[in-house]
Chains A and B, each alone.
Chain A
Amino acid sequence: MTIRICLADDHAIVLEGLRALVDGEPDMTVVGATTDGDAVEALVRRESPDVLVLDYELGGRRAPEVIQTLRQGEQVPRILILTAYHDGETIRSALESGAEGLALKTASPQQTLSAIRQVMAGQLVFPQAARRWLEARQASRSDEVTAREREVWGLIAEGLTNVQIAERLALSENTVKFHVQHLFQKLGVKNRTEAALRHATSGRVPRGPTTG
C-alpha cells in the first residue's frame, strides 16, 4: 500500500527537498503540498491524505490551531508535526493538539520518513521523556480535563469501546488509549465503569466543542 502524504511548510526549499525525498520512497507518494497556512484545510479536504506532515509554525498559524480546524472535517489524516524545537512546551502542545507524532528539522530527514511510517502504523511518535512528563504533569493537576478528554469521557459514559470512540472521533486507537489513560489519571478512577459513573454525577456536558 502506498502512503498518500500532504506536506505543509512555509519554507519552500524544505517542501521541495522533502517532496523529492518522499517521492523517492517506494511506499510513499506526495499528493499535495502547500506553503500557505490558510490553505491546509482545503488541501486536506481535496486530497484526503493518509498522513499530513505539518510545520509547527506555518506563517502566522501554529500547528495546534490548524489541527483543531481539521478535526471539524470529515476526514482527519494522521498528523506528523515537523519542528526545529524540542522543548517541553512544543512537545506538550503537539501532544495535546492530538497530533500522532513529532519529527525534528534538526535531525536527519530520514527520521521524518521513519516517523511517517510509524504514525501510519498507528504509533504515537514522541520522545519518551515527554510522555513521562505529561503523565506526571497531568497527575499533579488532576482538575485539568481537556476538551478532547471530556469528549472521550462522554463516549465512555455512552458505553463505547476505544475502537468505536476512535471511529467516532476520527482518531487512531492509540490516541484514544492515550486520552483514556490520562482521563483516568485525572479523575482518579480505575476503569470505564467508574469513569462512566463519575460522568453521570459530574453534571458536565458530555460533548464540548472539539478543541483538542
Chain B
Amino acid sequence: MTTAEESPGTASLRLLAAGERELQRIVLDMHDGPVQDLFAAMSHLQLLERELAAQPEAQRRTQQSIHLLERALGEIRTLIGVFRPPGFERRDLGAILEGLVVQHEALTDQSVDLTLDPALGDCPLPTKIALYRILQEALANSHRHAAATRQTVTVERTGAQFALTVSDDGRGFESRRVLAAEADVGVEGGHFGLRGIQDRVGMLGGTFTIESAPGRGTTLRVTLPAA
C-alpha cells in the first residue's frame, strides 16, 4: 500500500509511533549533552564552593550558581521522565505500565495501587503507546491538580478490549466544565490534558469517561480495542 492510499486512521497511527521515535532522539540528545555538562559543572562548583570558605561573598555566589544548575537539572529530570519513551517495541504492556507507576511514585512520593490483569498479554504498538501516555497524563493530573494522596490503577483485558481505570481520592472537579474549556486547546496549548486523552482514545476507536465532582475524587475509565 502506498502512502497516498492509506486511510487517514492508519496515517495517524503511524505518525504516533514516529512521534515517539522523535521524542526518543530528543531525550537522547538531552542525555548526551546538557545532562553530562551540567553534572560535571556542578561537581567542579561544589569543590570550588568548599575551597572558597575564606571568601564568603564568592562562596555565596558559587552556592547560588549551584542552586541554579540544580534547578535546571531537576527540570531536565522531569522532562526526561515525561518524554522518554519506555522502549515500546522492546517490552510488553505490563512491564511498561509498571515502570511508569514506579517512576511516578519515585518522582512524586505519591502512592499508587497498581493491579494488572495477569492475562494482559501484549498489544499493537499504537494501543500500547496510547495506554502508556493516557495513564501518564491521568497520574500527572491527579498529582498536579487534585492533591490526591492515593491513586488506584487497574488494567484489565476482557475479551477484545483493554479497560484502564484510574481513581484518586483528590479534590475532584467539574469534569464537564474542564472538558469544555480544553475543547479548543490546540497543539500550542502545551500539554495533552483530558482533551489529549480523548483524542488518543478516539483515534483508536475506544471509549472515555470521567466521573468527578468537587470533593469526591476522580475516576477515569478508558477502553481500547485489544487488536
Contacts from A to B (Cβ < 8 Å): 11, 13-14, 16-18, 20-21, 24, 84-89, 91-92, 104-110, 127-130, 132-133, 136-137, 140
- Pairs A–B under 8 Å by Cβ, sample size 18: A11-B36, A13-B37, A14-B40, A17-B39, A85-B84, A91-B102, A106-B39, A106-B80, A107-B77, A108-B42, A108-B66, A109-B42, A109-B43, A110-B46, A128-B106, A133-B102, A136-B114, A140-B118
Give Cα A92 to B99, complex, Å: 9
Are B42 and A86 touching (Cβ within 8 A)? Answer: no
- A108: chain B residues within 8 A (beta carbon): 42, 46, 66, 70, 73
| Interface membership of B225, Cβ < 8 A | no
Are A89 and B99 touching (Cβ within 8 A)? Answer: yes
Are B40 and A11 touching (Cβ within 8 A)? Answer: yes
Are A132 and B44 touching (Cβ within 8 A)? Answer: no
- B98: chain A residues within 8 A (beta carbon): 88, 133, 137
Q: Which secondary structure dominates where chain A touches chain B? A: helix
- B70: chain A residues within 8 A (beta carbon): 107-108
The 10 A-B residue pairs with the shortest CB-CB distance, nearest first, are A88-B99, A17-B43, A129-B105, A88-B102, A106-B77, A17-B40, A127-B106, A13-B40, A129-B106, A133-B102
Residue interface mask B68-100, A partner, CB < 8 A = 1: 001001101100110010110001000110111
**Nearest chain-B residue to A15 (Cβ)?**
B40
- B118: chain A residues within 8 A (beta carbon): 140
Are B102 and A130 touching (Cβ within 8 A)? Answer: yes
| Interface membership of B14, Cβ < 8 A | no
Are A106 and B74 touching (Cβ within 8 A)? Answer: yes
Are A86 and B107 touching (Cβ within 8 A)? Answer: yes
**Nearest chain-B residue to A21 (Cβ)?**
B43
Q: Given known contacts A88-B102, A105-B39, what 15 new A-B pairs fall within 8 Å (CB)?
A: A13-B36, A13-B40, A14-B40, A17-B39, A21-B47, A84-B77, A86-B106, A87-B100, A88-B99, A92-B99, A106-B76, A108-B66, A109-B42, A128-B106, A129-B102
Give Cα A86 to B41, complex, Å: 21
Are B99 and A86 touching (Cβ within 8 A)? Answer: no
Are A88 and B46 touching (Cβ within 8 A)? Answer: no
